[in-house]
Amino acid sequence: MTKSIFVAYLFKGLALFLILFFIFNTYNIITNKDRLWGNSQESREYLDQLIKVSGIDLEEFEGGKKGVSKLIQKRANFYPTYGNKVTLIEEEENVFDDIFEAISNAKDSIHLEFYIIRDDRIGKRLKSLLIDKVNEGVEVRVIYDSLGSHNLKSEYKKKLKAAGVQLKAFNPPLKALLKGSLNYRNHRKLVIVDGETAFIGDANIGDEFVESLENIPFKKSLQLKIEGLAVNWMQKVFLMDWYFITGEKLDDKKYFYSGEELGEAKVQIVPSGYQRDGNIMNETYFSLINEAQERIYITTPYLILKDGIIQSLRLASLRGIEVNLIVSKNTDLFLFDWSNRSNFGPLLEAGVDIYKYENGLLHAKALVIDDSISSIGSTNFNSRSQFLDYEVNVIVFDKDLSKHIDEFLEELKEKSSKLTLEEYKSSSVLVKIKEKIGRIIIPLI
């Protein structure tokens, strides 16, 4: 057999493997989700009994707020809370400074969960800090996604474990392949300190969230610091993940906040995954958009969706709602760029304002409705994030926070170029071909 024939057969075999792998995983996603994680009933009973937090009487909400909150409550069994203090963290130099300051002040427990942890300057700073806290007698638990953090060096993990940090990987690739669950990734970003202070947003542990690197563009992030009863529900999300990875039930009251009200914000956490229908984030976004009466603001690196939300944005604009969409001019993969652009035409024709952020990769994921409801978290506006990945967002019913996020988004618009319908229609034939390809591959990414 000649070398060229061997290579041809090798590529054919690889292509067949990839096709069969995709079909196998897709089959599991559609028909066999509960089996992937063991006893569904037992899991639900434990998780639902894990925490009992006072909720808000839904009658306190007006109009669309009540409907959105009720949807989340029914679909996720996560209730709204009151008396929360919510702080927006938008400046890149503060993203990790605020988190590390909270960690350094920890007295009892530190729980971290990230899709990506890098062994870079920020990662080394985190490692040193966590080791110091363990030596002070603080419980430290860390969850990372095994595929997202595949470049994390074994030496980094060994030092953490040797010091006493409880470090666990979510869904290791080999086990995931055998279970047909490789498509399920943990994309959450959570930090919970002493059950009292929490951080949620889109930033992973990496230098690219504070500066541009040689091979990785600067990533513009948006984080929230939360204090109050809502932290209990974020803690519940972490403990859910810890239980499914380790089988260890952590239900000590010391992990939960029972203090006084610290602010005025009403907050509701929205998790996805673990026998809860995988489209809860899609439904939440869809419901928020449909409840808008005046204005919609969206920022996301990816706009890679099926027709449902795209159509709801079109209809919102056609019924007179101001719709502002800010996306990255360039994402981290050219195929994503093509898929993003494939949705621009129908939106522009309906009057949606589209802005392309040019100062790095816009990694922030935010949705603001009528200057009164805000959604921040790890969930992108793409099919994978809304139907497959394990995500967590926070919905804040607070006009002051919405105003602050609006100001942040207005600054992003100033650093972006507006795409007009005329410019879009005058695109070259090559660009239009790329759009067609991008449209075809949307269901796969």
List, in order, residues 6 or more apart from 432 with CB less than 8 Å away: none
pLDDT confidence of residue 338 = 77
> 284: closest CA among 376, 370, 216?
376
Q: Is the pTM of this model over 0.85?
A: yes
Q: Which run of H or of E encompasses 399? A: helix 399-414
User: Any alpha helices (H) in 319-393, and if so which ranges?
Assistant: 334-342, 344-349, 383-387
pLDDT confidence of residue 30 = 44
Question: How many C-beta neighbours within 10 Å does residue 131 have?
Answer: 17
pLDDT confidence of residue 64 = 62
Say which CATH superfamily domain 280-444 falls into. Answer: Endonuclease Chain A (3.30.870.10)
pLDDT confidence of residue 151 = 92
Fold adopted by 39-57+82-266 = Endonuclease; Chain A (3.30.870)
What is the end-to-end Cα distance of the chain in Å, rounded? 37
DSSP 39-94: -HHHHHHHHHHS-------GGGS-HHHHHHHHHHHHHH----EEEEEEEEE--HHH
pLDDT confidence of residue 14 = 58
Domain ranges of the chain: 39-57+82-266, 280-444
Measured at the alpha carbon of residue 389, what is the angle toward residues 233 and 19, in degrees to the nearest 5?
165
DSSP 146-189: TTTTTTS-HHHHHHHHHHT-EEEEES-HHHHHHHT-TT--B---
pLDDT confidence of residue 112 = 98
User: pLDDT tens digits, residue range 107-151?
Assistant: 999 999 999 999 999 999 999 999 999 999 999 999 999 999 999
pLDDT confidence of residue 33 = 45
Matching CATH topology for 39-57+82-266 and 280-444? Answer: yes
Residue 331 class from Cβ within 10 Å (0-12 exposed, 13-18 middle, 19+ buried)? buried
Q: Classify strands 197-201 and 190-193 as parallel, antiparallel or unpaired.
A: antiparallel
Q: For residue 262, give the DSSP letter.
A: -
User: Which residues participate in catalysis according to the annotation?
Assistant: 187, 189, 194, 363, 365, 370
- What does the pLDDT profile of the chain (445 residues) look like in tens digits? 555 555 455 555 555 555 555 544 444 444 444 434 444 456 556 666 665 555 555 556 665 678 889 899 888 888 899 899 999 998 877 889 999 999 999 999 999 999 999 999 999 999 999 999 999 999 999 999 999 999 999 999 999 999 999 999 998 877 767 666 777 889 999 999 999 999 999 999 999 999 888 778 899 999 999 999 999 999 999 998 999 899 898 888 899 998 888 999 999 999 987 555 558 899 999 999 999 999 999 999 988 877 788 999 999 999 999 999 999 888 777 777 777 778 899 999 999 999 999 888 999 999 999 989 999 999 998 888 888 889 999 999 999 999 999 999 999 999 999 999 999 888 888 877 777 777 676 655 6
pLDDT confidence of residue 244 = 86
> 139: closest CA among 51, 261, 242, 47?
242
pLDDT confidence of residue 433 = 78
